[in-house]
Amino acid sequence: MLSVQGAQNSDPGASLLQNASLMSMVPSLSGKNVCDFFSSLSQIGQLSGWSHSQMLIIAKLKMEGNARKVYEASLQNDKELTYEKFKEAMTSHFKETPPFATEFAKFSSAVQFEFENVKDFSIRVQGLSQKCLESDSENEKVSESFKEKLLLSKFISGLKAHIRAQVLIADPSSFAEAVDFALRVERSFEVASPNVNVISQNDSNAVEGVKEGFTKTLDLVLKQLEHLNTRIDELDQHKDRPENSYTNQPLSQRRDRKPLKCFYCGRLGHIASECQRKRRDYQQGGQQNKFKSYNQRTFDGQIQKN
């Protein structure tokens, strides 16, 4: 592992590292964070007064993972390695540049969200514009006038409808002018629109009256539902009671069939399994009542024969 002091001793021209405690603020260089790493290192180095040779040593100390593998494979044996060359090699290897079509699609489809104010929307559109229109190549750079017109057009077209109409009438000539006018339109709508959260005393009393009437109506409906449920339960219980199978039959079938005769009590209109007298006898006396009932039926039969 390299050390700052050892690296400085090997380089007689290197000066003593100032503000060495700020090294803890520099993140580790893992590869994917290459842009954030060099941005942080550049700002902290400028604040601390570090030279490029010192920043190169710090970058080597902060390497880990894939970044260290790339350094050991292609840059470690380079005797003329400088900070700029190291930064360019790492950036070109790890920086992922999204396709232009993807970035331009995000820019062209940007619209103001429902709860997004004009200022935030202008910043978002401006950031998307820089991502898709900025280029490091001199041959691919877009003219500033064209970028300004494209940004102005996209900003106006992405505004909310009620703000966009006012801005189109004003016909601003620059992006800054369009943002300023859109902000004024937004403020005017905020002033003109009533605050729906503020309720006057009369409105409050009216709301309380409606609320009280609704509560009474709801209580009445609940009582009626409770009564209806009770009635339904009673009907269900009545439906479950056993009834005379003969009386449940259709009238046409009852006319065609012969009258039923009970073999227990001898009466017409029901069968022995539905005989009330049989049930009563079994409940009161068991076999004794049954024997009496048999004698009674025998006696009744003899009388009928005579």
Per-residue pLDDT of the chain (306 residues; tens, 9 = 90+): 444 544 444 444 456 888 888 888 889 988 888 888 998 999 998 888 899 989 999 999 999 998 899 898 888 888 889 999 999 888 888 877 777 788 888 888 999 998 899 999 999 999 888 888 775 444 456 688 888 999 999 999 999 999 999 999 999 999 999 999 999 999 998 887 755 555 555 566 667 777 788 788 888 888 888 888 888 877 777 665 555 554 555 555 555 556 777 878 888 877 877 888 888 877 776 555 555 555 555 555 555 554
Alpha carbon of 118 to those of 152, 173, 182: distances in Å? 13, 18, 7
Q: Phi and psi for 268 in degrees, rounded to 5?
A: -90, 160
In the numeric block, which tokens belong to residue 210? 């409606």
What does the DSSP 8-state code read for residue 75? Answer: I
**What is residue 196's three-state secondary structure?**
coil
Beta bridge partners of 261: 268
Query: What is the C-alpha to C-alpha distance for residues 277 and 57, in angstroms, rounded to an integer?
Result: 114
Query: What is the C-alpha to C-alpha distance for residues 7 and 23, in angstroms, rounded to an integer?
Result: 15
Q: Phi and psi for 141 in degrees, rounded to 5?
A: -70, 140
Asked if residue 94 lies in contact with residue 115, where contact means CB atoms within 8 angstroms, the answer is no
Alpha carbon of 286 to those of 69, 265, 279, 296: distances in Å? 103, 15, 10, 16
Q: How many CA atoms lie within 13 A of 126 on its CB side?
A: 12
**What is residue 29's three-state secondary structure?**
strand
Using only the alpha carbons of the chain, give its radius of gyration: 49
In the numeric block, which tokens belong to residue 51? 């030279």
Helical (H) or strand (E) element with 241 = none
Burial class (CB in 10 A: 0-12, 13-18, 19+), 192: exposed
Query: What is the C-alpha to C-alpha distance for residues 268 and 15, in angstroms, rounded to an integer?
Result: 129
Q: How many CA atoms lie within 13 A of 275 on its CB side?
A: 20
Beta bridge partners of 63: 29
Q: How many CB atoms lie within 10 A of CB 87?
A: 19
Q: How many CB atoms lie within 10 A of CB 265?
A: 17
- The pTM (predicted TM-score) of the whole model is 0.43
